[in-house]
Amino acid sequence: MKKTIILFLFITAICGGILYGGQCQASEVDNLIDKLVEKGILSDSEALQLLQEAQKEDAKEKEELKQVAEEVVKEAGAGIKISKHIDSLKIKGDLRLRYERRDRDKATGDDDSRDRMRTRFRIGGVWVNKDENWEVAAGLATGDDGATSTNDTWSNKKFFETGDIRLDYAYARHKLNDFTFTAGQQKNPFKTSWLLWDSDVRPAGFTANYDIGSFFITAGGYDVIQFGDNFGSLYAGQIGSKLKLGDIKLLFALAYYNYDSVFEHSEQPNVDYEFKIADLYASVKIPVDKIKFDIYGQVFNNFGADGDEGQGVLGADLDPEDENLGWVVGLDAKIGKFKCGYAYTQIEADSCVGDLKDADFGTGVNDTDLKGHRIKLGYKITDHCSLGITALLYEALELDDQNEANLYQVDLKYKF
């Protein structure tokens, strides 16, 4: 009777430990059984029976836990569903944390500096319907409602101020063989360097593209800004060629950007002034052993810049007909996990639409009438995490009373 009670209490204790702790420590059970056998409380057959009972309870508990886990996974998966007519959904995004310092020499002779921390967060998805040959894409990003920045400055005006997030792009794209049609707010469809178009600009309108690999043509019409009952438009076209000679890849693209009279009526500095910009872009990618080189150049000219001296965008004593050219040359290189790059540029005062060019180059001085350097260095920490340093060194091209500045940026980027 005593032995029966001991066996009952022991099995109860073992089973309770299994249920409470969530797992069975096999070595501890074996040690306890061995001690009971040594003291003569249990025989060998009773010890074997007890061990088998403990193993049964352990297997039962594991099966119950497995069922619970499967239910949790099933319920979690049920929260995300794709419509039957959608073949795939791809979601991706990135987070960039930036420290930025700007050192500026004012025309008055004073020095001025600014430090700030900034965040850029973006997330977007692409829904694809293969049967009907279309896709819909949409994305969100931090930043204000301007076209050239998705950065949010930390604690800008209030303690631990939280940033805004808004629509970054939303478009539908139809594809028929080599022809593609895109409608909505979209990523820039034109081949360009980093300078003429800020990478955050999302043209809103319609784009048609014909691409057969070695040759492409892109054309579109876009609503740039609304003026009362009318909107100022941009009509653009680009023709180009992509060639491959062995491991060398070449790209040539000629574009023309024509802003309509409604846009010009609001933005032109004089009645004869127009925005008619021709742009030539070229790049050559050359692999040499383990190094990949990308050499590029771009030149653009505003043939519509007209007027007398002092009647250009920046006024002063500048003649718009002599200030209508901009250009950049650059070299990027990738060596294993390292990236580096250098570029030199000059942007005359009336060569482009200053509010749409790269927003960082010139900040604190001016949007145009600039010359200077861009130096970049990056390191790929992991496959989806990288560290980058950029230095932008620029000054006024013609206007001596303007400032000059150095802008330094340190970026930590994550892609997901």
pLDDT tens, residue by residue, 159-199: 999 989 999 999 999 999 999 999 999 999 999 999 999 99
Quickly state the pLDDT bin for 216 (edges 50, 70, 90): very high
Residue, of 227 and 125, whose pLDDT is higher: 125
pLDDT tens, residue by residue, 40-88: 666 777 767 767 776 776 677 667 766 765 665 555 555 667 888 999 9
Question: How many Cα neighbours within 13 Å face the side chain of 62?
Answer: 9
pLDDT of residue 344 exceeding 70, the answer is yes
Position 23 scores a pLDDT of 45
- One-letter amino acid for residue 166 of the chain: R
Residue, of 343 and 84, whose pLDDT is higher: 343
Position 2 scores a pLDDT of 46
pTM, whole model, 2 decimals? Answer: 0.80
Q: How many CB atoms lie within 10 A of CB 331?
A: 14
Q: Which residue in the block uniquely carries the two structure tokens 């009438």?
A: 369
pLDDT tens, residue by residue, 116-152: 999 999 999 999 999 999 999 999 999 988 999 999 9
pLDDT of residue 25 exceeding 80, the answer is no
**How do 325-335 and 338-347 pair as beta strands?**
antiparallel
Q: Give percent of the chain above pLDDT 90.
A: 74
Provide the 8-state DSSP code for 104: E
Residues 6+ apart with CB under 8 A from 16: none
Tokens of 367: 């949007």
Task: Report the C-alpha gap between 365 and 355 in whole angstroms.
Answer: 13
How many helices (H) and strands (E) the chain has is answered by: 4, 17
pLDDT tens, residue by residue, 88-102: 999 999 999 999 999
Element (H, E) at 411: strand 404-415
- The DSSP code sequence of 330-379 is EEEEEETTEEEEEEEEEE-TTSS-TTTS-SSTTTTT-SSSEEEEEEEEEE
pLDDT of residue 410 exceeding 50, the answer is yes
Phi, psi of 62 (to 5 degrees): -60, -40
